[in-house]
Copies of this chain bind each other. A is one copy, B any other.
Amino acid sequence: MGRETEIRARYSETDQMGIIYHANYFSWFEIGRTDFLRQMGMSYRGMEEKNILLPVIDVGCKYIIAAKYDDEIIIKTRITQLKGVKIQFNYELYRKNDNILLAEGHTLHAFVDKSLKPINFRKKHKDIWESLNKNLE
């Protein structure tokens, strides 16, 4: 049930090693994550407007082959965990022209409100919870 998003690596994302600076993979993951929600018919922007925020509480990334400027990248995103106050997404980044896996990672999020206090998401937003749960692998 993974969903795919395509981006192109930006010049501003490179570093002087001639590759994409490693921290930028996490903003790519964020693009995969919000596009995943959009493809489900949800909107992270809309969630924030309803006072649901998803700050990151744990991340990891394994870098296999360096992405380079102008590479077209496919981000494959999946939901791999969904509990009362937490959701985890996993990501794989592929180089489009040869379908090689460049990196894989995860981000774990808490459901909180604007004051950054945890919310029992399953209870308070049952409909959204169930949509997410259908996409859990």
Contacts and interface: CB of A to CB of B under 8 A. Distances in A.
Interface of A: 10-12, 14-19, 21-24, 26-27, 30-31, 34, 43-45, 48, 53, 55-63, 66, 69-70, 107, 116
Contacts of A17: 16, 53, 55, 116
Nearest to A60: B60
A58 B62 contact: yes
Nearest to A16: B14
Contact of A16 (B11, B27, B56, B63): B11
A50 B70 CA distance: 15
Contacts of A34: 11, 70
B12 A27 contact: yes
